[in-house]
């Protein structure tokens, strides 16, 4: 069978040659949406970079399409939901630019330390002001790496060759795993306090938005240097500009910005700030690597195999969809809850199936991976789905276990998800009533009947009068409506748990107020 592939953005020649060895390739760049819709029906695969917008309308017209490849990491320009509904695999090439981003980070750090851009500009103006550009050495300095994934690890390796001490924060990396790389793992708060240089390599999610802000900068060393070659928005640029201008922060280097191009950023006016126009992946080698990766994945899919870096979840097989879908949905919600209530770096994920589910043990891998996806998706930068969830977890040193048991505690079926960390463990259990009524029925030893959706406040507390009421009063005072409540206990007068379904997000300052109520042991806000 002959396959037709459309390459609609410039792609390195090495990738084109690989594709031509297996299929027919048309290179047509700069197409409008209408032009793409007019021709896409004749192609089995589409390869893009960031220039082509693969909209739902384009995907609807792609009647033969089996694969959409993004030569790079980000897939914001592809409607992955529309592709999933149509059964089209979407894949990217996240590893191809790892070294490029790593080296750009190192270049920014050294340029910042030795003030190279300012010195260059001065000399080109005919000045010779050597004393004005006194730098600092990186030898024996402490580098704080926020996010210890592929790029963070490569940065750490290179920093160690400069005789820097490296400390890092990553919610999925245990101290033992970090020690294998010669790195001390710690909380992000402690990292901010001890680092001379801070570099961020995290995704931009709710938890990392403005992670570096006025409050966190105040806890840092005087004269700290801050680098961001990851995602715009992780750093509050206005707060950073104030800190640089005051001298609290000796300098900053940014390759990414909250708004790009950053024409209004106050950082552009500061001499001690180095900026580049999102060049982290802009090397000849990186573009070659992503082109080769995306071409090989294209061929694998067209041959009937799987892509290595799938970013959309494959559809559930039709014959199993009605049966498995509610369990998969339940498992993912349980995972999302677990990731937000458990403390410490995750070391093991165990999923136990009971009751009628034992009869489907051959098909439960899908459900297990949805649980893993739920745990890891809110935190990690790369897209997580049932194809790569287990691989990504194991890559980060997390052990995965899937077991079955006859004991279902009186329920017709039950899924129990246990997440173990270096600080303890938490078990969440759930069941499906009828065809699709999913419920969480226990958190630890506390039973309940909770619908796993929306926003919730989970509080462990002493079972006594005058605890639940004040918590509800705090929410009401801040105009946060409570839509439902579950309370569970094992023995009267001892530790209990309450779960409050709320109609809006609960800010951290409100959660802090709840935690200060006498009798409250802990309180967490979670979004399912």
Active-site positions? Answer: 231, 260, 278
Dist. CA 497–CA 459, nearest whole Å: 6
Asked whether the beta carbons of 43 and 63 are under 8 A apart, the reply is: no
The SS3 assignment for 150 reads: helix
User: How many Cα atoms sit within 13 Å of 182 on the Cβ side?
Assistant: 14
3-state helix, strand, coil in the chain (%, to 5): 35, 25, 40
Length of the chain, in residues: 528
Dist. CA 405–CA 140, nearest whole Å: 54
Dihedral of CA atoms 487, 489, 492, 493 in degrees, nearest 10, equals -80
List the one residue out of 116, 155, 161 whose CA is nearest residue 138.
Answer: 161
Dist. CA 61–CA 131, nearest whole Å: 64
List the one residue out of 188, 190, 192 whose CA is nearest residue 170.
Answer: 188
Asked whether the beta carbons of 201 and 155 are under 8 A apart, the reply is: yes
Within 8 A by CB and 6+ apart from 362, the residues are none
User: Helix/strand/coil (H, E, C) string of 493-510?
Assistant: CCEEEEEEEECCCCCHHH
* Edge-to-edge strand list for the sheet holding 346-355: 399-405, 346-355, 413-421, 424-433, 437-443, 446-450
List the one residue out of 336, 334, 337 whose CA is nearest residue 351.
Answer: 334
């Amino acid at each position: 069978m002959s396959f037709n592939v459309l390459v609609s953005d410039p792609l390195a020649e090495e990738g084109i040659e690989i594709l031509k060895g297996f299929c027919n390739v048309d290179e047509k760049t700069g197409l409008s949406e209408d032009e793409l819709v007019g021709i896409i029906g004749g192609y089995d695969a589409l390869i893009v970079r960031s220039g082509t917008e693969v909209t739902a309308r384009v995907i609807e017209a792609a009647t033969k399409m089996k694969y959409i490849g993004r030569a790079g990491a980000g897939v914001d320009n592809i409607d992955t939901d529309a592709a999933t509904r149509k059964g089209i695999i979407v894949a990217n090439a996240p590893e191809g630019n790892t070294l490029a981003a790593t080296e750009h980070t190192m270049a920014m750090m050294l340029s910042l330390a030795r003030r190279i851009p300012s010195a260059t500009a001065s000399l080109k103006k005919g000045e010779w002001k050597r004393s004005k550009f006194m730098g600092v050495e990186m030898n024996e300095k402490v580098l704080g790496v926020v996010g210890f994934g592929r790029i963070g690890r490569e940065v750490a390796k290179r920093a160690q060759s400069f005789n820097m001490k490296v400390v890092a924060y990553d919610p999925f990396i245990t101290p033992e795993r970090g020690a294998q790389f010669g790195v001390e793992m710690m909380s992000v708060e402690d990292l901010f306090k001890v680092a001379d240089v801070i570099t961020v390599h995290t995704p931009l999610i709710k938890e990392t938005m403005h992670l570096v802000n006025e409050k966190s900068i105040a806890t840092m060393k005087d004269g700290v240097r801050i680098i961001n070659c990851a995602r715009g928005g992780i750093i509050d640029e206005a707060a950073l500009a104030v800190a640089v201008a005051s001298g609290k922060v000796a300098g900053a280097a940014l390759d990414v910005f909250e708004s790009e191009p950053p024409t209004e950023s106050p950082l552009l006016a500061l001499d001690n700030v180095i900026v580049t126009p999102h060049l982290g992946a802009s090397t000849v080698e990186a573009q070659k690597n992503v082109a080769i990766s995306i071409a090989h994945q294209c061929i694998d899919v067209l041959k009937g195999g799987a892509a290595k870096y799938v970013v959309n979840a494959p559809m559930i097989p039709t014959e199993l969809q009605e049966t498995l879908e509610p369990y998969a949905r339940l498992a993912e919600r349980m995972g999302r809850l677990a990731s937000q209530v458990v403390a410490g770096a995750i070391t093991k994920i165990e999923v136990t199936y009971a009751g009628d589910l034992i009869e489907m043990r051959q098909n439960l891998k899908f459900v297990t991976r949805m649980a893993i996806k739920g745990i890891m998706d809110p935190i990690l930068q790369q897209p997580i789905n049932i194809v790569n969830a287990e691989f990504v977890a194991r890559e980060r040193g997390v052990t995965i276990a899937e077991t079955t048991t006859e004991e279902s505690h009186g329920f017709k079926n039950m899924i129990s998800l246990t997440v173990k960390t270096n600080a303890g463990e938490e078990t969440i259990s759930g069941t499906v009533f009828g065809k699709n009524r999913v419920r969480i029925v226990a958190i630890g030893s506390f039973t309940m009947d909770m619908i796993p959706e929306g926003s919730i406040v989970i509080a462990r507390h002493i079972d006594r009068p005058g605890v639940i009421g004040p918590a509800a009063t705090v929410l009401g005072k801040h105009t946060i409506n409570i839509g439902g409540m579950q309370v569970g206990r094992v023995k009267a007068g001892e530790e209990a748990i309450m779960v409050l379904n709320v109609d809006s997000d609960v800010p951290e300052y409100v959660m802090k107020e709840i935690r200060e109520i006498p009798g409250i042991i802990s309180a967490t806000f979670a979004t399912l």
